[in-house]
Chain A
Amino acid sequence: MALETKQVAMTGNEAVANAIKQINPDVIAAYPITPQTDIVQFYSTFVANGLVDTQMVTVESEHSAMSATIGASAAGARAMTATSSQGLALMHELLHIASGFRLPIAMPVVNRAVSAPINIHCDHSDTMAALTTGWIQIYGENAQEAYDNMIQAVKIAEDPRVKLPVMVCYDGFITSHAVENLVLVPDEKVKEFVGEYKPQHRLFDFDNPITFGPLVLPDYFSEIKAQEAEGMLAAREVILEVAKEYEKISGRKYGWFEGYKLDDAERVIVVLSSAAGTAKVVVDELRAQGEKVGLLKPRVLRPFPAEELVKALSGAKVVAVMDRAETFSTQGGQIFTELRAAFYEAPKKPLMRNYIFGLGGRDTTTAHIRTVFEQLKQDQERGSVDRKVTHLDVRV
């Protein structure tokens, strides 16, 4: 059967809401927060018009949103929620519980800065603070990727080898609210792709009653956490398998990262999500001038594809990792430190520097990206980086 090619114009949130409609989960429990809100609004309209089978629980907080989603998922339902920023922070306690229960919850997180100061615009401080919660994290650059990742997330999470929740992250406003052209997969194909949810264990099994969430003391706790880590390890295979399968129904390729003019690049920017789109424009400009520059846009941060990233960057001479969140470690952003650690055993290491950029929605323009590439050129000529961590475009 021919692949769908008809383009539709949608915002990122509308595209993701449509993906969820096609997935048709049994339960959604959600609470509004900018810039996630209109996912919940779109979905409420689907429910109000009988377009889905979903039972919608309009909870009184994100803490309850995740609690109810966990309850529904444990019961044996396909359950979802969505959030941003303060909402994700409020859920934090339950993030560990969703993964500790091995519940395959797929959740859009529309990236937004975390207070204080309060700010509704994009950065990645919300999801970076959730990297150690046992959730898989997938990032998308635009509405198309957010949509595609949403559908794949369900299949990854529910794979019996994985059984871990997944965050589907994309940039607040830049992606969530901008109208873009994208191609949807037909309803029937999505339905077939995600299939029916068949949990291994569920609360609604009255012949074999299960105790979910018992007290576990030191005699068993470590084993349970080690198994969870194995699930994350298994996700390394499953994420690629699911991407291959998804390619068959969409024609679009996904993997650990996207390399843009990377093969012979000497100077490389590593950056997540929407800023990669801006960087691609600059890469094209500089390539036209004969500069050997390239881009690496990670797609998955949990599990962290250390080997693959090292391999992809092994030919580079200088790398600028751009992190859209502070860690306050004074040693740089999260991706920077993890990528540097990944290079520890590598025989050949590029020079590496870090930029903290785009906080609280600060625009990152092609001019900013050009400065970064210029800096990389100076570093390459000097044979060293003059500064490990820089806050980009900050008045002093």
Chain B
Amino acid sequence: MASLKELSAIPEVLAPGHRLCAGCGAPIVVRQITRAAKGPLVVTNATGCLEVSTTVYPYTSWNTPWIHTAFENAAATASGVEAAYQSLKRQGKVDKEVKFVVFGGDGGTYDIGFQSLSGAMERNHNLVYVCYDNGAYMNTGIQRSSATPKGADTTTSPVGKLSYGKRENRKDLTQIMAAHNIPYAAQVSPAHWNDLYQKAEKAFAANGAAFINALAPCPRGWRHDSKDTIEICRLAVDTCFWPLYEVVEGKTRVTYKPREKKPVTEFLKAQGRFRHLFQPGNEGVLEEIQKEVDRRWEELLALEEISNR
């Protein structure tokens, strides 16, 4: 286990001076994950906040090879990059040990990039796909995605006379990725940096496709203070809204169990996008959200138990 001091001494691939908002979760995720690569690393990025804000031509914040082609195809693009590596290495034209990581937002991963991600995982390319999940299409102005939590106020699931925000529950992408039976799948949160770092190390060491779903608050879309990003990540985990776990060769392990599971309202009330849920009349919605969080948490614990048998 590395200490914070040791981790901070590792050279970074993402330079400061990028144009992401203060308090944005995305660059925190990127910096924490890429530290675990320990060597030459090629980054592929889907279109989204991270991509546009770190590569405003003629500048770039990336001091490692980086490629972006389009929105829905980061996993496919990376498949080609990784295939080129396998080919050139076999032919003796590249000699370095290279790692490959992909960063896509939730829109680029859960929704429009779902097919290409599924394909790349099934083909078991030797790469780590990281979804930085901020629960909406932030780059285009906070539209709902299939990762947006129920009840959230977004620009395409706005609160109104007839609406309490998004009606549907989130897609559980981490489980779907685990169901691809890839060597490694995990869910992480930047507040638990040690857990995150260890999972990133395992993902890079996995001989094949790995998927990491990383919570990445967006102060603008979630409507919270920039300084609260990490605190909100912690609440997401302590309320079991965002459980920390990994699935290795089909076996589920919950890597962190809150000593005392907090009510989901603790996570919700810290963010402006859920403020309306605390108004009279929306009690039922809060109850439904809590029920769903409980159900998914129990199911996860049951999966872990089956794995331990």
Contact, CB under 8 Å: A59 / B67: no
Q: Does chain A have a CB within 8 A of B7? A: no
Q: Given A26-B88, A55-B84, A204-B94 in contact, is the A64-B79 Cβ separation under 8 Å? A: yes
Contact, CB under 8 Å: B77 / A214: no
Contact, CB under 8 Å: A71 / B81: yes
Bitwise interface map of B from 75 to 92 toward A, beta carbon under 8 Å scored 1, else 0: 111111111111110110
Q: Given A74-B67, A97-B69 in contact, is the A27-B83 Cβ separation under 8 Å? A: yes
- The CA of A75 and the CA of B125, in the complex, are separated in Å by 15
List A contacts of B118 (CB < 8 A).
60
Q: Does chain B have a CB within 8 A of A194? A: no
Q: Given A58-B123, A214-B57 in contact, is the A209-B62 Cβ separation under 8 Å? A: yes
**B122 CB, min distance to chain A CBs, angstroms:** 8
**A46 CB, min distance to chain B CBs, angstroms:** 14
Q: Does chain A have a CB within 8 A of B303? A: no
Bitwise interface map of A from 53 to 91 toward B, beta carbon under 8 Å scored 1, else 0: 111011111011101111111111101000000000000
Q: Does chain A have a CB within 8 A of B148? A: no
Q: Given A67-B80, A79-B80 in contact, is the A215-B55 Cβ separation under 8 Å? A: yes
List A contacts of B160 (CB < 8 A).
none
- The CA of A75 and the CA of B85, in the complex, are separated in Å by 8
Contact, CB under 8 Å: A71 / B65: no
- The CA of A58 and the CA of B79, in the complex, are separated in Å by 10
Number of interface residues of B (CB under 8 A): 46
Contact, CB under 8 Å: A29 / B69: no
- The CA of A46 and the CA of B57, in the complex, are separated in Å by 42
Contact, CB under 8 Å: A213 / B81: no
Contact, CB under 8 Å: A67 / B87: no
Q: Given A26-B91, A67-B80, A70-B77 in contact, is the A204-B51 Cβ separation under 8 Å? A: no
Q: Does chain B have a CB within 8 A of A330? A: no
Contact, CB under 8 Å: B52 / A215: yes
Q: In the complex, which residue of chain A has the Cβ closest to the Cβ of B61?
A: A211
**B6 CB, min distance to chain A CBs, angstroms:** 23
List A contacts of B70 (CB < 8 A).
67, 93-94, 97
List B contacts of A79 (CB < 8 A).
80, 84
Contact, CB under 8 Å: A220 / B79: no
Q: Given A74-B81, A79-B84, A205-B65 in contact, is the A63-B72 Cβ separation under 8 Å? A: yes
Chain B stretch 27-74: residues in CB contact (< 8 A) with chain A: 40, 42, 44, 51-52, 55-58, 60, 62-70, 72-73
Chain B stretch 72-131: residues in CB contact (< 8 A) with chain A: 72-73, 75-88, 90-91, 94, 96, 98, 115-116, 118-119, 122-123
- The CA of A77 and the CA of B90, in the complex, are separated in Å by 12
Contact, CB under 8 Å: A203 / B65: yes
**A129 CB, min distance to chain B CBs, angstroms:** 19
**A299 CB, min distance to chain B CBs, angstroms:** 30
Contact, CB under 8 Å: A220 / B58: yes
**A309 CB, min distance to chain B CBs, angstroms:** 35
Contact, CB under 8 Å: B67 / A61: no
Q: Given A67-B116, A71-B81 in contact, is the A55-B86 Cβ separation under 8 Å? A: yes
Q: Which of A57, A76, A210 has the most CB of B within 10 A?
A: A57
List A contacts of B79 (CB < 8 A).
29, 57, 59, 64, 67-68, 71
Q: Does chain B have a CB within 8 A of A116? A: no
Q: In the complex, which residue of chain B has the Cβ closest to the Cβ of A68?
A: B80
Contact, CB under 8 Å: A57 / B51: no
Q: Does chain B have a CB within 8 A of A344? A: no
List A contacts of B58 (CB < 8 A).
220
Contact, CB under 8 Å: B67 / A212: yes
Q: In the complex, which residue of chain B has the Cβ closest to the Cβ of A77?
A: B84
Contact, CB under 8 Å: B66 / A209: yes
Contact, CB under 8 Å: A209 / B84: no
- The CA of A93 and the CA of B71, in the complex, are separated in Å by 10
Bitwise interface map of A from 90 to 113 toward B, beta carbon under 8 Å scored 1, else 0: 000110010001000000000000
List B contacts of A67 (CB < 8 A).
69-70, 73, 76-77, 79-80, 116
List A contacts of B65 (CB < 8 A).
203-206, 209-210, 212
Q: Does chain B have a CB within 8 A of A1? A: no
Contact, CB under 8 Å: B52 / A213: no
List A contacts of B123 (CB < 8 A).
57-59
Q: In the complex, which residue of chain A has the Cβ closest to the Cβ of B116?
A: A64
Q: In the complex, which residue of chain A has the Cβ closest to the Cβ of B55?
A: A214
Contact, CB under 8 Å: A75 / B62: no
Contact, CB under 8 Å: B56 / A214: yes
Chain A stretch 8-66: residues in CB contact (< 8 A) with chain B: 26-27, 29, 53-55, 57-61, 63-65
Q: Given A71-B80, A204-B98 in contact, is the A77-B69 Cβ separation under 8 Å? A: no
- The CA of A217 and the CA of B118, in the complex, are separated in Å by 32
List A contacts of B96 (CB < 8 A).
206
Contact, CB under 8 Å: A27 / B67: no
Partner of B56, one of A63, A69, A210, A215: A215
List A contacts of B122 (CB < 8 A).
60
Q: In the complex, which residue of chain A has the Cβ closest to the Cβ of B79?
A: A68
Contact, CB under 8 Å: A63 / B116: yes
**B53 CB, min distance to chain A CBs, angstroms:** 8
Partner of A29, one of B40, B57, B83: B83
- The CA of A169 and the CA of B85, in the complex, are separated in Å by 29
Partner of A209, one of B63, B72, B91, B116: B63
Chain B stretch 126-144: residues in CB contact (< 8 A) with chain A: none
Which residues of B does A touch, CB under 8 Å?
A: 40, 42, 44, 51-52, 55-58, 60, 62-70, 72-73, 75-88, 90-91, 94, 96, 98, 115-116, 118-119, 122-123
- Known: A77-B87, A204-B84, A209-B63; 9 extra A-B contacts, CB below 8 A, are A53-B91, A61-B119, A64-B76, A71-B69, A75-B85, A204-B42, A204-B88, A209-B65, A217-B56
> Would you mind naming 22 contact pairs between A and B with Cβ atoms under 8 Å apart?
A27-B84, A29-B79, A53-B90, A61-B119, A63-B76, A64-B73, A67-B77, A71-B69, A72-B84, A74-B67, A75-B88, A76-B84, A209-B62, A209-B64, A209-B65, A211-B62, A211-B66, A213-B69, A214-B55, A214-B56, A214-B57, A216-B57
Which A-B residue pairs are the 4 nearest by beta carbons?
Answer: A71-B80, A68-B80, A60-B119, A214-B55
